[in-house]
Amino acid sequence: MTLAIEARQLTLHIPDGRWSVARRYALGPIDLQIPEGAVVGLVGRNGAGKSTLMRCLLGLATPDEGEARLLGEPSLALTDAVRERLGYAAQTPDLFPRLNGREHLDEMAAVYANVDLPSAVTLAARLDLPLGKRADALSLGDQQKLAVVMALAHDPDLLLLDEPVASLDPISRRDFMRALFALRRKAAPRTVLVSSHLLSDLERVVSHVLFLRDGKVQLFIEWDEAMEYLRCVPARLPDPLSLHWSAAQGGRALVDSRHCPEAAGEPGLSMEDLLEVLNT
């Protein structure tokens, strides 16, 4: 199996004097293997390290220990050939204030070989994004849309999106989720890592979900598998065999019903239920 994203012992220290017993590292140590074609929802509370993880994976932040690789190359030494295959939209879009949307796309087309301008313009129209407006006159939602259209314009094989839909209305969010799979001209499916607090949106599109807490991976699992097999059972004390123990609601253990027959009758968990259990 080819990996689109790989991390080995990826660690970012917290600056001296600011670390605590509860949290020694801003990130990690993280080991992660994301197969090609996976659509991964990156989920965690504010401050869990979602943006930091994305920046480390992209080589925009330099880890203190360990290594990340994208499409087989070290993140800190990506060749232009791999850069051409990456798309990224930061949480706060990096736009040129004086340029309008169309000019942004023209700039991209000048740098990236694969930009298909007509398709990008069509996508912008579907997202209801005015391309003639200067970036500094766009609402935050429209700035996010422009960042997403730009991240997709060159048909990337690997797409990283940091909170791309936070300011979008529900209709635009639905169109955004369709866009994750749009503008695809190659046969191989695109790999996507997308962080969001809008978990019901993620439930529609993800193949995997990655729960992050205090800079560490708590759980990385196929979403269908999580829905079919992960269950909560009452447990007053932590059980070393459970995936996680939550002290809330009198104590609950998160278990895999394949190894825990008494959990078979328990109801399935939504992504929000899982997030709550994993963070209490």
Partner 1 sequence: MSSPQAFFDIQPQLATPIYRQVVEQVQRLVAGGQLGPGDELPSVRAVAERHAINPMTVSKAYSLLEAEGLLERRRGVGMVVAARAQPAAAGSDLLALLEPAIQALARQTRQLGIPPDQAVEALARALQSDEQDRP
Does 109 interact with partner 1 (rule: CB under 8 A)? no
CA distances from 125 to 92, 112, 134, 143, 159 (A): 22, 22, 16, 14, 21
Q: Which stretch binds partner 1 (CB under 8 A): 90-98, 136-144, 204-212, 239-247?
A: 204-212
Question: What is the side-by-side order of every strand in the sheet holding 25-35?
Answer: 25-35, 3-13, 65-70, 73-74
Residue 177 interacts with partner 1 (CB under 8 A): yes or no: yes
What is the distance, to the nearest Å, from the Cα of residue 239 to the centroid of all Cα atoms in its chain?
A: 30
Q: Does 185 bind partner 1 (CB under 8 A)?
A: no
Query: Nearest 5°: CA angle at 161, between 157 and 165?
Result: 130
Which range touches partner 1 (CB under 8 A), out of 83-91, 116-124, 196-204, 242-250?
Answer: 196-204
- Count residues near partner 1 (CB under 8 A): 22
Strands 216-222 and 208-213: antiparallel
Spatial contact of 63 and 31, defined as CB atoms under 8 Å apart:
no
Per-residue contact string for residues 39-68; x = within reach of partner 1 by CB under 8 A: x-----------------------------
For position 224 contacting partner 1 by CB under 8 A, the verdict is yes
Is residue 118 within 8 A of residue 183, CB to CB? The reply is no
205 binds partner 1 (CB under 8 A): yes
| Residue among 47, 228, 247, 258 that touches partner 1 (CB under 8 A) | 228
Q: How far is the CB of 133 from partner 1 (least distance, A)?
A: 26
Q: Which is nearer to partner 1, 3 or 60 (CB)?
A: 3
Q: Does the protein bind partner 1 through residue 269 (CB under 8 A)? A: yes
Among 13, 33, 35, 37, binds partner 1 (CB under 8 A): 37
**Chain-centre distance for alpha carbon 100:** 27
Q: State the nearest-atom distance from the C-beta of 270 to partner 1, in Å.
A: 7
Contact flag: residue 200 with partner 1 (CB under 8 A): yes
Q: Which of 178, 186, 258, 259 binds partner 1 (CB under 8 A)?
A: 178
DSSP assignment of 176-195 equals HHHHTT-S--SSSPPEEEEE
CA distance 18 to 163: 26
Q: How remote is the C-alpha of 40 from its chain's centroid?
A: 6
Burial status of residue 253 (CB atoms within 10 A of its CB: 0-12, 13-18, 19 or more): buried
By CB under 8 A, which span of 23-31, 148-156, 237-245, 261-269 interacts with partner 1? 261-269
Using CB under 8 A, list all residues that contact partner 1: 37, 39, 174-175, 177-178, 181, 189, 200, 203-207, 223-224, 227-228, 267-270
